[in-house]
Structure formats: C-alpha cells, structure tokens
Amino acid sequence: MLKRWNRLETWLTLGVGGIALALFGLGGLWLYMAATPPIHQSGDSVPASGDPASSKDWAAAIARAREAARAGVAAQNLPGASVAVGVDGALVWNEGFGFADLGARTPVTPGTRFRIGTASIPLTSAAVGLLLEQKKLDLDEEIQTHVPEFPKKRWPVTLRQVMAHVAGIPSDSGDEGPLFGEHCDRAVDALPFFATSDLQFEPGTEYRYSRFGWILVSAAVEAAAGDHFLRFMQKHVFDPLGMQDTLSDSNATQIEHRATSYFPRFAADPRYGPDPMREADYSCYSGASVFMSTASDLARFAMALRSGKLLQPATVELLQTEQRLASGAGTGYGLGWDIEEVTIGGTPARAIGHDGDLLGGIAVTLMTLPERQITVVVLSNTSYADTPAIAARIAEAFATQP
C-alpha cells in the first residue's frame, strides 16, 4: 500500500509540476510578447508610399485595400510590405507599406525588391511553357532525357510529375536546408545534395511538395534551352515582359532598392519581433527560390500570361490545370501553380497563384482570380507572414467595388 501511495504521490507531483511549468511558460511568453514593442502602433501609423499612376476609376477599392494592407501589416507586426493589383490586364494600384530596413527606417516603395522564395516557381513554369511550345521539352518524357545527372530510380519519373510535386522527390527541411550555405553556378551543381535519395513513393500516387524537384526542373530548362538558366529567364521571360526589377538573389552582389529580410525572433511568429535573416545563398535553389522581384513585376507577369503575351492560351491552361493522382484525387496544384477556391464577397471563386516561402515560412502571395480578371501580389520582408490573408482582403475590395 505504501509503495502504491508513493507511486501515486510521484505522479501527482510530476503532473502538478508539469502544469506549473506550462503556466510559467505561458506567462513568460505573454510577458515576452508584452515587452516586445510593436513596429507599428496601429494601421494608421504604417507609413505608405504609393504610385501616383494608381487608377482613379478604382479609387474606392484602393481606399479599402489600403486600409486592409495597413491593418494587416500592423496586426502581424510586419516590418514592411508591397502590394500591386491588376484588373483587366492593367496595373491599377501599386503601393509600399512600412519599412524596407528597420535600422535605417527606409520606407518600402513600389520599387523595393523583395526575396520571393518559392514564388519563383511560376516564373520557372513559364520557362517550361516556352520550351514546350518550341518542342524542346515534353512533359511526359523521363526527366533523365535532359538531366542524365539525375540517377534512374525504382520507377520512371517524368517532367510532368516533377512539376506537379507527385514524383516522390524529397524536399529540404525549410530553414535547415543543406543548400543555403552552398553556391551553385548551374542547377545541376545542386543535384549531389539530393539526387541519390530514394523516391518517397511511387510517382503519381501521392502529392508532396518538393523544392528539390524544381531545382531538377530548372536543370531540364537549362539543358533543353542550351543556355544558362538565369540568362534564359532574363532573355525570354523577364525582358519581353518589361520585368526590369526581377533578378537573381545574391548576397555577393550589391542590389539596389533591396529590402532587408527578417525572420521571427521567437515561435515562428512576427508578433514577437523580427531579427535580420541569417545570410543565405539561394543560387543552388535555382528556379525553385532564386529570384527577387517587385510586386508590380509579378503582377505584370501574371497578367501577361492571361493575355497571351508570353505563352499561348492553351499552354497557360495546361500549366494551370489541377493535376490528379492515379487514384483520381485532385492535388490542388497544377504544373507550378496552386489552384484553390477562395470566398470573395460571400461567393466562391477560383484562385490560381503561388505563395513564396523563405526559410520555411510564407512571405509572398501571388493570387489571380481568372473569372474576375483580378491579380493581387503581396510581398513582405519577413518569413511567417500571413500574406495570403492580406491578399484575400485586397482582392475582395476590388471584386466587390460597385
């Protein structure tokens, strides 16, 4: 009986101690958060720098969207953000909010360049589209046709499967990926870090997001084009669309109008304050994460695709069509594009776009509402920002203007 009571007493002590530690931790967390001064006291205090060319026809929507952007930046404690909106193929609003650099109190302007992380993928998808039209790539050929450096696996792997994230190729672990400390001159230089790994499943049977997969796609683009990947992107995607502010991210090069990147100080939550993001080299990620851009450049890109300026409409439809698994289940993803349903003004709407994550957390949202001809881009300079929520509120402001 004594032994049983001692055991019970021990468990009670451990349980009470655990609860006390949890309460202490929560109390400490609350004090830490309370002691962290907000970057912006309120939405009204968030500095803004707009483009005077913003459309007067959309003045009411812009006013509501500006309020939503400022509120989102303040509530999430984001250092800064940049927003661009296109309607019916025309850029109608472009404005910066908050600070591109907190130390210098440099304001975000429409010309501020941000790291866009995995929002680079739709740009790379467009490069594939160009090569498909030129018959230099085939979606259903094995990836080794153009990238023999990628070893054969237990099952065949096609370009389509890699682009759709159904190939079974592993991914990195977000902010602890092995490639951030490396430098690659070509996409194939990154293959030794992941190419020998086994596939995680039989291609076509599961959907699993893989940044590594889009490095492989970049290598296929480079081989099929017979040109360096970044040079091909510049000559055949960026220059034709006037994307003068889109370029590869490099810590070794001084880039004008570049926003300082931040990472949440605690608990992957910007509300606890930002720290400067650690040095990272994105060159090995190639078309999976390598680019910097502005909100207006990304908006122009998305609108150009819908207008047929860069690719044939049938090619765009091919890239932006949801893929299906062998079971028939939809993946919610095309060939480099997210496909989802959002609620706008109480009505479901199809949304096509892509978020961009940096070191494991979202920092960028590119959203298009094809049936309403609305494009929204929100860029922030910190990881773990809820840019999708800000983009959705902005899209609603434009979709519901009388």
Number of domains making up the chain: 2
Same domain, 15 and 98: no
Do 125 and 15 sit in the same domain of this protein? no
Same domain assignment for residues 280 and 331? yes
Structure confidence by residue, pLDDT tens digits, 257-275: 999 999 999 888 999 999 9
Same domain, 4 and 93: no
Confidence of residue 293 (pLDDT cuts 50, 70, 90): very high
Whether residues 112 and 128 fall in one domain: yes
- pLDDT for the residue numbered 175: 64
Asked if the model's pLDDT at residue 290 lies above 80, the reply is: yes
Q: DSSP letter at 57?
A: G
Confidence of residue 332 (pLDDT cuts 50, 70, 90): very high
Asked if residue 76 and residue 22 are part of one domain, the reply reads: no
The amino acid at residue 251 is N
The answer on 145 and 30 residing in a single domain is no
Structural domain boundaries enclosing 360? 41-402
Closest by Cα among 53, 37, 71, 282 to 183: 282
- Is pLDDT above 70 for 1? no
Average pLDDT across the chain, whole number: 90
At 301 the three-state DSSP class reads: helix
Whether the predicted pLDDT of 253 surpasses 70: no
Over 60: is that where the pLDDT of 278 sits?
A: yes
Give the containing element (helix H, strand E) for 315.
Answer: helix 313-319
Q: What is the largest CA-CA distance in the chain?
A: 84
Q: What is the mean pLDDT of residues 294-309?
A: 96
The tens digit of pLDDT for each residue in 175-196 reads 667 888 889 999 999 999 999 9
Confidence of residue 15 (pLDDT cuts 50, 70, 90): low
Residue 33 has pLDDT above 90, yes or no: no
Under 8 Å between Cβ of 339 and 322: yes
pLDDT band, residue 255 (cuts 50/70/90):
confident
pLDDT of residue 344: 85
**In this predicted structure, which of 28-37, 83-92, 166-175, 202-211 has the lowest mean pLDDT?**
28-37
Q: What is the pTM of this model?
A: 0.90
DSSP string, 157-214: -BHHHHHTT-S------GGG-TTTT---SSGGGGGGGTTTSPPSS-TTS-----HHHH
Burial of 103 (0-12, 13-18, 19+ CB in 10 A): exposed
Q: Are residues 118 and 20 in the same domain?
A: no
Same domain for 175 and 262, yes or no, is yes
Output DSSP code: residue 154. S
Residue 371 sits in a domain whose CATH number is 3.40.710.10
- Geometric angle at alpha carbon 16, from 11 and 22, rounded to 5°: 125
Reduced to 3 states, what is the DSSP secondary structure of residue 335? coil
Q: How much of the chain exceeds pLDDT 70, in percent?
A: 89
> Do 2 and 144 lie in a common domain?
no
Beta bridge pairs of residue 352: 339, 368
The residue among 282, 296, 297, 295 whose CA lies nearest residue 248 is: 282
Whole-number Å distance between alpha carbons of 142 and 145: 6
Residues 140 and 16 in one domain: no
Statement to judge: residues 369 and 275 lie in one domain: yes
